[in-house]
A = this chain, B = another copy of it.
């Protein structure tokens, strides 16, 4: 889906629209009418008409239709001898005369089927010399539109004084594109749409991967760089003619969009302000430059800066973090006032309290953020760490080293403190970063981003961290799989699911957390009670909260189990049950075992033994965090060994499944994916590796010369990867 283009907000005020349908839209490759596209176009026009738009059509195609028919007629009338002779090209005007009636009959029929009346208006260039004509034409069109009739214009090719429809480019208008532009000005249209066989104007041939569609044409920028496509297969025009006509009309104040006539909803999308096709607007050069390009460029710039960041010494990277921490504290008042403005706006807009609470930078928050940044700065440098050293052969040493992933995209909702945490993590781990925050926190995010990037030294570049402040949709960002290495969503399950479903970029996160606690018959039931209550009640909305309580069947109807269930109920938990527990305990049946309540509710079910608990978890769980409560070592080890989840716990609350509690320092997220990182993820989730091989001129030569030793070397000894300062001092 294309996103809304903020520059096209004016579309909502459009009432009168001229639609020019190109020959390539109307005809098929074999020269016959493209009835599917024409039919769909009529349906679209009908819908616009019903919605109150005043629609005027300019149609091409008559010459093509006529040529097709005349060829057939000529063939029928030819003798075999005639066919041996060289065939003259058919007269263009004759073709137009024949084709015009067929084309109009078709439109009439189709519109009639849709309860719409249409009308034919054939004009010639010389008509427009007469100012009376122009006046009368406007009156006629106004009358037709008043009656909700669709005026369909075409050049009266058959009787025009033009030499041949294809060749003569003189006059007030010179093809249907320029006729459409002229009519747009004469009839004071609010919008002109030129339907073509391509999606719009490209910066190069549309077939080349480097060509990008230009969504907003700016003459000063695009006129030189554009390689216009070939002319349409049939008909005059082509892209050059379209750009010329569009520039003329838009210069006269009529916005023009060139878009595909192959998409049966393209005009509707244009009118909804979607960023499709190419818009020509007289103010376009005053607008901000196209956002598409800039997000891509932001990612490329972030990677360039990140390479410079990696090239700093560990001390220099550390110093940036200290500078960021200082800058945050120094600008606390400014940050606070911007945050208060966001809060006030959110309250005014009637956002729910929980959102406003997440949005708020509470007193002391800046100080605590600064403190955690300093802690991060003092952590061991995560990059350029040698993870493995091998002597491959005599004098040939291989090192596996940690290195930054590249460019990260963080999509976060509400919490402006997430921006600070993630930005510090990115700096510490040498990564470039694009941040896309929620609208509700825009002012907070903008000031925080500014404060942080101001603290980044010039030899790295502040573009290391880009804040995507435009109204670009997440969907656009998620397409940039060529320049973004990892997406980390920080927000609701819904956000994560949507992002996972709509990108080819790897996503680090979890869409759901259906966590289980299994109470074995051997369990210490006091311990079980403590764990179950904590797992459900400590923070019911957390992804690591218990959703399903599995209980060994022997515990059914024991006072100890009843005590646990009562405690849950007393704490306000709504208990649902699986089919077996329903019969024993009588709680309402749960809709599904896959359910994540994320609230004070849970499902209880009985299982036969630990194996059946494991099977249940594999079948219904989300492989997040699952716990066994038991005093039986065999049961514990079976559970720990077999449960195939990111985190598997023995006699401990599922709520411990968390980066901070795991001691990972800053938490990047919790991953239920199996690739790259799993479970609570610390800074190592932002790292990849590089292989460094140091030799003395060794060559492979069919593996005949080298005696491979493959000896593991200690990590400490030998030449380490030097930082830039040490390199300078070599």
Contacts and interface: CB of A to CB of B under 8 A. Distances in A.
A573 to B, nearest CB: 16
Contact of A653 (B307, B642, B698): B698
A693 B533 CA distance: 18
A46 to B, nearest CB: 8
A164 interface: no
> How many subunits of this chain does the assembly comprise?
2
Contacts of A310: 641-642, 644
Interface in A95-149: 102, 105-106, 109-110, 113-115
Contacts of A703: 661
A236 to B, nearest CB: 22
A311 interface: yes
Contacts of A641: 310-311, 384, 721-724, 727
A471 interface: no
B694 A485 contact: no
A690 interface: yes
Interface stretch (A36-44, A154-162, A320-328, A371-379): A36-44
B531 A699 contact: yes
A439 interface: no
Contact of A702 (B36, B538, B650, B702): B538
Nearest to A34: B43
Interface residues of A, number: 107
Contacts of A72: 115
Contacts of A723: 641
A113 B679 CA distance: 63
Interface in A626-683: 629, 633-634, 636-638, 640-642, 644-653, 655-657, 661-663, 674-676, 678-680
Closest 3 CB pairs between A and B?
A36-B40, A652-B695, A35-B39
Interface of A: 28, 32-43, 46, 65, 68, 72, 102, 105-106, 109-110, 113-115, 264, 307, 310-311, 384, 390, 392, 396, 398, 403, 405-406, 485-486, 504, 506, 524, 527, 530-531, 533-535, 538, 618, 629, 633-634, 636-638, 640-642, 644-653, 655-657, 661-663, 674-676, 678-680, 688-703, 708, 710, 721-724, 726-728, 730
23 contacts: A32-B43, A32-B114, A34-B39, A40-B40, A106-B109, A307-B618, A392-B663, A396-B652, A396-B656, A403-B644, A405-B674, A506-B506, A530-B697, A538-B699, A629-B697, A640-B694, A641-B723, A647-B692, A648-B691, A649-B693, A656-B698, A657-B691, A680-B691
